Structure 1
Amino acid sequence: MKIYLVGGAVRDKLLGYPHHERDWVVVGARPEELEAQGFIPVGKDFPVFLHPKTKEEYALARTERKTGPGYTGFSFHSSPEVTLEEDLRRRDLTINAMAEDDSGQLVDPYGGREDLQRKLLRHVSPAFAEDPVRVLRVARLAARYHHLGFRIAPETVELMKQLVDNGEVDHLVAERIWKETERALMEKSPEVFITSLRDCGALARIMPELDALFGVPQPAEHHPEIDTGEHCLMVLQQAVRMNGSARVRFAALTHDLGKGATPPAEWPKHIGHEQRSLSLVNELCERLAAPKEFRELARLAAQYHTHGHRAMELKPSTVLKLFKAADAFRRPTRFEEFLLCCEADARGRTGFEDRPYPQANYLRSALARCRAIDNGEIAAQGFTGKAFGQALDKERLRQLSKVKSALTD
């Protein structure tokens, strides 16, 4: 029995890149041998075990054969006779097909170290084109290492296109797409995830609402970058710059989906795009099985981001309606994320990247004034039930009027 460190831990160790997970492959062993040593079996489709102390994953060396469509359409063969090189050959990229033995010696049968030096994401073998998840994984790794100068090898892009053209990508399940998307959103350059999917044609299959934005013009005086798709990528970059959560980044990316449904005869204007964006965000989130908190923030940003931009022009009653629609009194943290989306949108335009966004502080101040109202004082005046709510709103409007008046003082 021989045990090797494999995959991302080896790759990132050579890169000097932070990593937190380690995976291991076991050569020359049977399942019962690992179980006898206290390893806990967890693999349903092939032999994977958790170490009894570290809980790290140990997989028996295996080969695989394509038996059907999609990423589940494989049969696996594991036995003590399967070599380390055979196990590494079934992996997606050369930089993921390296191993390290217990003495720290590198095993690199497919040129992974050289591709690291060349900053190249390159497939190990033509079998890459059998698993559609690899399209997502490669796009995510491109987003992770873009700042280091990495690119996807042209021949690998061709295999990614092949997975799209032959319909394999259409067999991806929503949960797997979302898992890779959420991870990609938190990489250093998440916009590269989107452009990589678009370059191979996968974005049109996986997120057609987003793909439809590219080539759609906007008014040049407000959007010097013109292209709506490029604008959304710039907004995503600004969300990263402001250390936004994955929720903020997703909402930033999808806030303008309605512009892709504007009739071409109305271009470059997009009147009413907020409401169209809302319905398209709902469709996209449903297809991707996005978690509830992602859906809620994305819907909020889609429907109300222009309210954020016009905050200091709005009547106090309209600001109050915004607070209520956003549930800002009970969920101020989510409202803060909404403000980050608005600020990212305002700055996600060519030449506007560092422009101040006072609207956010204005709305923060307005919300703080409303939340500082003493409900006990209103109740002490004898108001209850519906009358209490009306009296509270009256006081909120009075405070909001003070905030607005302070703009001209």
Structure 2
Amino acid sequence: MHIYLVGGAVRDKLLGRPEGDRDYVVTGARPEDLLALGYQPVGRDFPVFLHPRTGEEYALARTERKSGRGYHGFVFQADPAVTLEQDLARRDLSINAIAEDEHGTLIDPYGGVRDIEARVLRHVSAAFVEDPVRLLRVARFAARFAPLGFTVADETMALLRQMVAEGEVDHLVPERVWAETRKALAEAQPSAFLRVLRGCGALCVLYPEVDALYGVPQRAEFHPEIDTGVHVEMVLDAAAAIAPGDDLVGFCALTHDLGKALTPAAEWPRHIGHEQLGVAPLRALAARLRVPAEHAALAELVCREHLNVHRALELRPATVLKLLAALDALRRPERLEPFLAACLADQRGRLGHEHDGYPQAAYLRRARDAAATVTAAPFVAQGLQGPAIGAAMERARIGAIAEMKQCNI
């Protein structure tokens, strides 16, 4: 029996990145061998075990054979005869197909070290096309490693296009698409995720509402980048910088301008009312991919209200209170920060505006705090009842916001 560290832990060590989960492959062993050593079985489709002390995953070396459509259509073989090289051959990218033995010696049969040095994402074998999830994983790894200079190999992009053309992507279930997309939105450069998907033709299949934004012009005086799709890429990367690792802010950034794709071409480059137009495609996208309710709800608020946030310093106190009420920010103050982060990302996701200040955010925080000082108790003490209490509180909150604004002019 031999044990090897494999996958992401080896890759990240070579890249000088913090190591995440450590996964191991075991060759020359049977399930009963690991059970006798106290390992706990967890794999349903193939033998995976948890180490009795560390809880780390140990999988028996295995091969896989395509038996149907989609990513469930595989038959696995795991027995003592399967070699490490055979196990590594079934992995997606060469940089993920490197192993390390107990002495620290690297086993790299598919050139992963070379591709790390060359900053290339390259598939291991032609079997790559058999699993459509790999297309999403390549796009996600592009989002993670683009800041390090990684690009997708031409031959790998050709395989991605082949997978789309042959309909493999059509067999991805919504939960898996969302799971990979959510991870990509939390990476350092999510725009690379969109570019890879668009480059292979998968974006129009998986996210047609986003794909439709490319080629739609905006007013150059406000958007020097002009193309709405490019703007969304820039907003995604701004969101990743403002709220690192926050896929909620990332999803809001991804969907905030979907309405611009619905503007009649005769009205370009103006997009009057795109905030409201964007709600329907956002809801359709969220329902289709079964996006979590809070992601969908906050994204809809950003879609509808981001222009009001940009104009916050010009709004009447009553309108500011209405905005805070729409966000439910008085009862749920934790919603305010991701909402503002997404709006700030929209402000900065424009050519030449990457470092803009955003006093609107501080103003809305102060407005929320001022409104929150108003409680029902004084009005109850005055003898008010029912709707009269709510009306009095609303007037008082508008007054508190007005006073705050006057004091900060």
Name the TM-score, length of structure 1 as normaliser: 0.97
* TM-fit CA distance, 1:406: 4.6
For the residue of structure 2 that corresponds to 1:25, the secondary structure is strand
| Number of the residue aligned with 1:230 | 230
In the TM superposition, what is the alpha-carbon distance from 1:404 to its structure 2 partner? Answer: 4.2
Question: Any residues of structure 2 matched to 1:336-355 within 5 Å, and which?
Answer: 336-355=337-356
User: Which residue in 2 is equivalent to 1:333?
Assistant: 334
- The one-letter amino acid paired with 2:87 is D
* 2:380 aligned with 1:401: no
State how far apart, in whole Å, the 2-side matches of 1:146 and 1:22 are. 23
2:100 paired with 1:100: yes
Aligned to 1:182: 182
Q: Partner residue of 2:45?
A: 45
Instruction: Please name the residue that 1:204 is paired with.
Output: 204
Aligned to 2:370: 369
Q: Conserved in 1, the CA contact under 8 Å of 2:243 and 2:341?
A: no
Alpha-carbon contact 2:375-2:393 (below 8 Å) kept: no
Mapping for residues 5-404 of structure 1, pairs under 5 Å: 5-243=5-243, 245-404=246-405
Moved more, 306-315 or 373-382: 373-382
Q: Distance in 2 between matches of 1:263 and 1:68?
A: 43
Write the letter of the residue equivalent to 2:296: R
CA distance in 1, matches of 2:263, 2:215: 12
Task: Give me the identity figure in percent.
Answer: 57
Q: In structure 1, what is the Cα distance between the partners aligned to 2:50 and 2:167?
A: 35
CA deviation string 1:283-337 (max 9, x = no partner): 1111222112211211110011111011122222222211111101011121222
Q: Is the Cα contact below 8 Å between 2:92 and 2:128 reproduced in 1?
A: yes
> Residue 183 of structure 1 aligns to which amino acid in structure 2?
K
Unaligned runs of 5+ in 2: none
Q: Deviations over 1:175-216 (max 9, x none)?
A: 111111111112111111111111111111111111110110
Matched residue of 2:338: which SS?
helix
Paired with 1:255 and 1:376, the residues of 2 have a C-alpha distance of 39
Unaligned runs of 5+ in 1: none
Q: Could you tell me how far apart the structure 1 residues matched to 2:343 and 2:91 are?
A: 41
Provide the rounded CA distance (Å) in 2 between the counterparts of 1:364 and 1:253.
Answer: 24
> How far off its partner does 1:168 sit?
0.3
CA shift at 1:123, angstroms?
A: 0.8
1:353 CA displacement: 1.8
User: Residue deviations 1:266-296, cap 9 Å, x none?
Assistant: 1111111111211111111112221122112
Partner secondary structure for residue 104 of structure 1: coil
Provide the rounded CA distance (Å) in 1 between the counterparts of 2:14 and 2:367.
51
Structure 1 residue 12 displacement after superposition:
1.0
Distance (Å, rounded) in 2 between the aligned partners of 1:17 and 1:310? 41
Matched residue of 1:58: which SS?
Answer: strand
2:12, 2:355 → 1: CA distance?
33
Cα shift at 1:242? 1.4
Once the two structures are superposed, what CA deviation does each residue of 1:234-291 show, in whole Å capped at 9, x if it has no partner? Answer: 1112212212522112101210011111111111111111112111111111122211
Question: 1:296, 1:132 → 2: CA distance?
Answer: 29
Contact preservation (8 Å) 2:170, 2:205: yes
Alpha-carbon offset, residue 96 of structure 1:
1.0
Q: CA deviation at 1:32?
A: 1.3
1:227, CA displacement in angstroms?
A: 0.4
Count of aligned residue pairs for this structure pair = 408
- 1:374 CA displacement: 4.0
The residue type paired with residue 152 of structure 2 is I
Cα distance between partner residues in 1 of 2:377 and 2:356: 41
Cα RMSD between the aligned structures?
A: 1.3
Cα distance in 2 for partners of 1:354, 1:121 equals: 31
The Cα of 1:140 is off from its aligned counterpart by: 1.0
Provide the rounded CA distance (Å) in 1 between the counterparts of 2:103 and 2:338. 48
